[in-house]
Structure 1
Amino acid sequence: MSLDLLPYDLLLPILSCLEGFRPHILLPCCLVNHEFYEIAVRLLYRSISIYQWYAGFPRGLAYHDTTDIHKNLIPALSNCINLYSCRWTRDGTLTSAIIEALQQNPLQELAINGRSGAFYDAENLIGFDKLVKLTLIMPDSHVARQLPRWTERLAATLRELTIICKDGKLIHDRILHQIASHPLKLQSFSITNCANVTHTSIIDLLRGSMESGGITSLTLDGISTAFDWSVFTKTVTEEHLFRRLSTLTLTYPAGRSRTLPDLIQLVSIAPLQELNLSNFGLHGLQEDNHNVDQENADLLSAIINVHGATIQTLGLLRTRVTDVAMSKICNGLPNLRKFFFTRDGSTSTVVVPSLPLPQLKFLEYFHVSFMSDNDLPFPGVPSEADIVSLAERCSPELLQCGVDTRVWKINREFMRLSDGEWSKRVTLGLYDQSEIPEAFLVVRA
């Protein structure tokens, strides 16, 4: 069938399937015909990403090239009439002129580097007044001061707020209390590396969200050591603040058994489908390992007992998952689709093909990280052959896998043999999605 014969109404749903991939995959669709061009261009410019690791933009360019980029960039941004999402996290490249140009578009999702400095006026950010999703990375004092006023302006639309700090002193309880005083309709709140944030302001934010039904996703990562888990758990339980919570990400103190009952209570009272847990205060695999392993086993038993049939995503990071724990997870969480976990990499027994992941019949994505004590040699990560050996035995639903800093997509090739039977070959392909791999977003502190 010729592409010219495809009904116009089908082009949008078909081409939308390519939207999450890198731009060069969608780009050739613009060249098919006028109808394809109209739809593909609309999708191609729905999202802009200037990430922190784009080291050559614009500093690596010659001065006249940089001038030309800024000269052409502003009108180009103004022409992106379908721009829905912008991730501009490259430090020192966002300017007031770029902000004003972006504000001419119907942006609903914005992620920016919050170090305004001499680059842009923090007050200009308040012009983004229809955002549904906002992510602030490393906000400086100027941006931090504008945040309560900005969120007040966004009270009618804002549903997701993420704050990732570098200087943990700038975002504190007083700012969050001010944010919570506005009639927000937050469904998702995430805070990372904000060491002056305690349970009092988080409780305030949770209470404020109850008017619109309550928070469905919460991340508390790298918060204050003065965070009172007992008071937090008691309040959340008594006021039913987790009644709609389906996603929970926590960093909790390792080897401190007094917090364990609170953690078990927290993960038990919410209707969770996704749970990500990470230890802090653990400085080596040999440090009080037995106590930590026992705590993790108790916590894992509670998760399986309460959420065994509902958990679809599980992340266990910065704490080793023992063989016993792996077996317990693969048997007790039959509907698990995404599994991020940490293994002991300090010994020579780093064996990936023997992991019991094939028991998970719906597994779509696994990512394993290795941690080792500083005093012990690290034997190296498993080979790609080991990963393929494991992927071949996993569920046919498996689409993606990763080890430490590497991520692959799963390719399956089918060939008919001379006897008429079919043969399947599994290989690892390059990660081709435009988004950052999910395993790297779970716990960032």
Structure 2
Amino acid sequence: MACFLELPVELLPIIVQFVVKPSHLALVCQTNKVFYRYAIPCLYERVLVFPWHRDGKSRVVKVFRTLAECPLLARHVRRLEIREFPKALSSEASDDLLANCTQGIKNCTNLIRCTWTRDGSLSSRVLESLLECPALEDLEINGHHNWQYDPQILWRFKNVSKVSLIMPSGPVIDVLPWWIKETRLRLRCLTLICKSSPLVTDGLLEIIAPGLPNLEQLSLIGCPKVTHHGILSILASSRVGITTLGLEALSSAFDMAEFSHQVESSQALSQLRSITLTISETFVAGWMANVQRLLASSPLEVFQVYTRGGSLGPTMSDDFCASVVDSHHSTLKRFSVHRMRVSLNAIDFICSRCTNLEQLFVVVDRESMRDLGPILSKAPRLRSVHINYPLDAQSVLAPLRSRADVLSALQNCIAPITQFGCNTRVWQVSKSWGEGDEVSEVNLSPYENPDIPDQFLVMRA
């Protein structure tokens, strides 16, 4: 009988790719030298530190000490994502950490993507170290410089193709036109995330538009001074066509009717595959009709809408859901509606018509969970589902009830779902099958992927 040790060594890289949890990869590295050789690049390919990680601040210290002292490990890093950072340190400890950060980053010679979002933690020395990473093309940073770094350093990142700025301050916004000019038409993705900031305006977008002919992805969040005029100027400058568009919490003067009319005339969104929109809690039929018109000629794959604020909005119209599905049923892969209930009839229509649907994120009443299984079964390629429902304010049993609700929904579901979330919880799904298409057993295990689940990245306003 063949045993595991007789497997061809060439299969190890393929096998290791299916191990996603860092602690599991670390165990694989300890197996023997052969396993170490193939697993260590996967372990260090993505270095992620989030605020909810246990001992996240001390983890940052250990990560950068390792990267600074072990260049052979640092060269495996392709993606560095720092969303937590210790700031209450002694002067000596702070100096040591900064020295390790700068040296560690310099050692990451193959770094492609860097995310550094912790407010007040980004310094000029860190940015200058990133300038020495020759492969860097994706930069996401906290734009609130707070005199911790010199915004003038930013325009020296001339080779980036993707830029995301979070809460940019005035001096950072002032640098943006020069920065975009210095990228020499390389920029393909621009994201500006604000919190009701008046700094991002139509005028700014009109200034930077000529430098964005190759822009494919544009997301503006929390920019109340941006109207349809500014967005149209960006669309008009894009020669390749926008494929991803996020218009979230923009000006109340944004005229969707005029915007959709101009887009329809110019066919500016004929390449659009993903759209994210926020709507007011009192949205009207006219807005929905204009959105349908806006998307009419787009090969849409991702449709995401949510209301502003934290409260649950009105129920999404069945007619509106049906119109989106009728126009894009052959291409839609993700249908996402947050902070608005979606009826079971609408979900049934979505699952029945969208034969390529892979992700479904919706809000329903808890009582409807038990009826979801047969409906979800109608989507033959459905992989990921997330259901939000209102919770009782005093419900201490919410996590247990969520798990029970998910199990009841999946027991009668034959769709190939591998991930299911409910409110704040996410599980990996495995099933055992009985005779025919009957599910004999459903198992829910903890979510292992170190990345944030997609459903938690939708709402940013």
Please tell me the TM-score bracket, short chain as reference.
0.7 to 0.9
**Identity %, equivalent residues:** 31
Q: CA deviation at 1:84?
A: 1.7
Q: Distance in 2 between matches of 1:406 and 1:178?
A: 43
Asked if structure 2 preserves the Cα contact closer than 8 Å seen for 1:195 and 1:222, the reply is yes
Q: 1:440 to 1:178 in 2, by over 3 A?
A: same
Q: List aligned pairs for 1:39-118, cutoff 5 A.
A: 39-51=38-50, 56=57, 57-59=85-87, 64-105=92-133, 106-118=135-147
Per-residue CA deviations over 1:81-104 (Å, capped at 9, x if unaligned) read 121221211111111111111221
CA shift at 1:16, angstroms? Answer: 4.3
Is residue 202 from structure 1 mapped to residue 231 from structure 2 by the alignment?
A: yes
Correspondent of 1:263 among 274, 291, 295: 291
> Does structure 1 retain, via aligned residues, the 8 Å contact 2:411–2:439?
no
**What corresponds to 2:65 in structure 1?**
none
Map of 2:339 onto structure 1: 318
CA distance in 2, matches of 1:299, 1:378: 34
For residue 428 of structure 2, the aligned residue among 409, 412, 424 is 409
2:160 to 103, 109, 131: 131
Normalised by the size of structure 2, how large is the TM-score? 0.82
- Equivalence map 1:25-424=2 (5 Å): 25-32=24-31, 36-37=35-36, 39-51=38-50, 56=57, 57-59=85-87, 64-105=92-133, 106-209=135-238, 211=239, 213-253=240-280, 254-280=282-308, 293=316, 296-344=317-365, 350-355=367-372, 356-371=375-390, 381=398, 382-412=401-431
Give the AA of the match of 1:432. E
Count of residues in Structure 1 that have an aligned counterpart in Structure 2: 421
Mapped pair 1:440 → 2:456: yes
Give the aligned residue type for 2:318.
Answer: A
Structure 1 residues 170, 423: closer, same or farther in 2, change over 3 A? closer
Q: Which amino acid aligns with 1:76?
A: G
Q: Is the 8 A contact 2:187 2:212 kept in 1?
A: no
- Pick from 445, 454, 457: which aligns with 1:429? 445
Q: Which residue type is aligned with residue 136 of structure 2?
A: L
Residue in 2 that maps onto 1:418: none
- Using the TM superposition, give the Cα deviation of residue 141 of structure 1 relative to its aligned residue in structure 2, in angstroms: 1.3
Q: Secondary structure at the match of 1:143?
A: helix
8 Å CA contact retained: 2:362, 2:386: yes
Deviation (angstroms), 1:125: 1.8
1:62 offset after TM fit, Å? 5.4
Task: Tell me how far 1:283 sits from its aligned partner.
Answer: 6.0
Show CA shifts across 1:252-280 (max 9, x none).
Answer: 33332332321121232211111112234
CA distance in 2, matches of 1:204, 1:397: 43
Contact 1:92/1:119, CA 8 A, preserved across alignment: yes
AA partner of residue 285 (structure 2): S
TM-superposed deviation, 1:13: 4.9
Tell me which residue corresponds to 2:60: none
Whole-Å separation in 2 of the counterparts to 1:161 and 1:404: 30
Structure 2 residue identity aligned to 1:264: Q
One-letter code aligned to 2:405: D
Tell me the residue number matched to 2:68.
none
Contact 1:320 1:371 in 2 (8 A): no
Question: Which segment is superposed worse, 314-323 or 386-395?
Answer: 386-395
- 1:156 deviates by 3.6
Q: Specify the code of the residue in structure 2 equivalent to 1:274.
A: V
Distance in structure 1 (CA, Å) of the matches to 2:7 and 2:349: 53
Distance apart, 1:111 and its partner CA:
1.5
Q: Deviations over 1:236-260 (max 9, x none)?
A: 0011111111111111333323323
The 1:361–1:283 alpha-carbon spacing in structure 2 relative to 1, beyond 3 Å, is: same
- Counterpart Cα distance in 1 of 2:294 and 2:312: 27
Does the CA contact (< 8 Å) of 2:378 and 2:415 recur in 1?
Answer: no
Distance 1:30 1:283, change over 3 A: closer
Q: Report the secondary structure of 2:428's partner residue.
A: strand
Higher alpha-carbon deviation: 189-198 or 104-113: 104-113
User: Does structure 2 conserve the Cα–Cα contact (< 8 Å) formed by 1:48 and 1:86?
Assistant: no
Question: Separation in 1 of the partners of 2:35 and 2:88?
Answer: 35
Q: Answer whether contact 2:413 2:439 (CA < 8 A) is retained.
A: no
The 2-side partners of 1:24 and 1:283 are apart by 37
Please give the alpha-carbon distance, in whole angstroms, between the structure 2 residues aligned to 1:271 and 1:235.
18
Structure 2, unpaired ranges of 5+: 58-84
Gaps of 5+ in 1: 416-421
Shift of 1:322: 1.8
- Comparing 317-326 with 57-66, which one deviates more in the overlay? 57-66
SS of residue paired to 1:350? helix
- 8 Å Cα contact 2:318-2:343 kept in structure 1: no
Conserved? CA contact 2:144–2:167, under 8 Å = yes
RMSD value, Cα: 3.0
| Alpha-carbon distance in structure 2 between the residues aligned to 1:128 and 1:32 | 41
Residue 438 of structure 1, CA deviation: 0.4
Do the aligned partners of residues 108 and 47 (structure 1) sit closer, same or farther apart at CA in structure 2, a change above 3 Å counting? farther
Q: Secondary structure at the match of 1:189?
A: strand
Most deviating of 225-234 and 399-408: 399-408
Query: d(CA) in 2 for partners of 1:409 and 1:33?
Result: 29
In structure 2, do the counterparts of structure 1 residues 73 and 397 end up closer, same or farther at CA, with 3 Å as the change threshold? same
Aligned AA (2:447): Y
* Helix, strand or coil at the partner of 1:310: coil
